[in-house]
């Protein structure tokens, strides 16, 4: 039977309510956008067909899932309503949006705002660039690996090294492109470099033709709570490591957003 991902927050699962846990696992499974039959859902999360049918009926009644004419299920409109309410009331996104819009207009490239959750990044905002960019998989609400994205590395660099090591020793480092870092020691040294320089680069480590520069956002307590990135195609942004203007734009914008959150840089 599959189990939900650990949140990494130390929460005690002894108080989980079984039926809610099962419902959340169904919604999490369907969050990838793939249509699934009740039998496929039951097999994927280790529930009996009868239990799965009852769960889907309840979720469908409350509009959290919806069934099509071929008896396959996907997420329902209630999930969209919750997501929109979260986005509209998220403090980090509200603080960042004016500066993100200015950064997009200034660079004409796509900009992102992300947070770290369970050692993965979640996109809170994406403002498409004013240039044509071609295929880029990022979208609001999507999860992506942290270790091979610029924004992810900008966030991982400020986590406790022992927690980062423990997670990737357990989960491994999947290769997405020829540029993906797949050795843990190399990754840890790279993250230390990111922390020292205050920005991270993605040289096609997750999507081969995508380049980005990312910088962390700090809150009033000096904790890294999010990161931003400027992303574009390799043909326009390479060599990304020598694009000092773009790097400074990312760092400057991240610091503006940090200031909105009450952060005061150490002297």
Question: pLDDT tens digit string along 120-175?
Answer: 999 999 998 887 655 677 778 788 999 999 999 999 999 999 999 999 999 999 99
What SS3 class is residue 121? strand
Task: Please determine, for residue 58, whether its predicted confidence score (pLDDT) is greater than 50.
Answer: yes
> CATH says 90-260 is which class?
alpha beta
What SS3 class is residue 11? coil
Whole-number pLDDT of residue 76? 87
Residue from 30, 113, 40 nearest 79 by CA? 30
Whole-number pLDDT of residue 19? 85
Element (H, E) at 227: strand 224-233
Confidence bin at 267 (pLDDT 50/70/90): confident
Q: Which token pair is 144? A: 């992506």
Whole-number pLDDT of residue 4? 40
Residue from 90, 98, 96, 126 nearest 111 by CA? 126
Which has the higher per-residue pLDDT, 205 or 1? 205
Whole-number pLDDT of residue 262? 86
Number of separate helices (H) and strands (E) present in the chain? 10, 8
Longest dimension (CA), the chain: 63
In degrees and rounded to multiples of 5, residue 220 shows phi and psi of -60, -25
In degrees and rounded to multiples of 5, residue 99 shows phi and psi of -75, -30
Mean pLDDT of the 95-111 span: 93
Q: Which of 14-18, 60-64, 123-127, 180-184 has the lowest mean pLDDT?
A: 14-18
Say how far residue 58 (Cα) sits from the centre of its chain.
29
- Architecture per CATH, domain 13-82, reads as Orthogonal Bundle (1.10)
Q: Delimit the CATH 1.10.10.10 region(s) of the chain.
A: 13-82
Task: Please determine, for residue 2, whether its predicted confidence score (pLDDT) is greater than 50.
Answer: no
Distances 199 to 25, 187, 217, 241, 246 between C-alpha atoms, Å = 35, 15, 11, 11, 11
Element (H, E) at 220: none
pTM above 0.85, yes or no: no
CA atoms of 229 and 198, how far apart (whole Å)? 13
Q: Which token pair is 157? A: 């660099």
CA atoms of 149 and 145, how far apart (whole Å)? 7
Confidence bin at 85 (pLDDT 50/70/90): low
CB 6 within 8 A of CB 118: yes
What SS3 class is residue 251? helix
Q: Delimit the CATH 3.30.450.40 region(s) of the chain.
A: 90-260
């Amino acid at each position: 039977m599959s189990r939900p991902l650990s949140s990494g927050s130390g929460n005690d699962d002894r108080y989980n309510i079984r039926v809610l846990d099962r419902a959340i696992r169904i919604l999490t499974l369907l969050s990838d956008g793939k249509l699934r039959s009740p039998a496929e859902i039951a097999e994927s999360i280790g529930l009996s067909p009868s239990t799965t049918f009852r769960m889907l009926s309840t979720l469908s009644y409350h509009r959290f899932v919806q069934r099509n004419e071929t008896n396959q299920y996907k997420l329902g409109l209630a999930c969209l309503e919750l997501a929109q309410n979260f986005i509209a009331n998220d403090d980090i996104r509200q603080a960042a949006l004016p500066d993100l819009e200015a950064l997009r207009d200034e660079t004409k490239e796509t900009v992102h705002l992300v947070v770290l959750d369970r050692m993965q990044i979640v996109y809170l905002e994406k403002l498409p660039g004013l240039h044509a960019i071609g295929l880029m998989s990022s979208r609001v609400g999507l999860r992506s690996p942290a270790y091979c994205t610029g924004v992810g590395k900008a966030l991982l660099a400020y986590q406790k090294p022992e927690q980062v090591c423990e997670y990737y020793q357990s989960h491994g480092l999947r290769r997405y492109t020829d540029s993906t870092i797949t050795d843990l020691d190399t990754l840890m040294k790279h993250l230390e470099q990111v922390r020292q320089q205050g920005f991270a680069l993605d040289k096609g480590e997750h999507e081969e033709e995508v380049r980005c520069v990312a910088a962390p956002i700090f809150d009033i307590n000096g904790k890294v709570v999010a990161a931003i990135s400027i992303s574009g195609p390799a043909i326009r942004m390479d060599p990304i490591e020598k694009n000092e203007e773009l790097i400074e734009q990312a760092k400057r914008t991240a610091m503006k957003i940090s200031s909105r959150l009450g952060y005061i840089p150490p002297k």
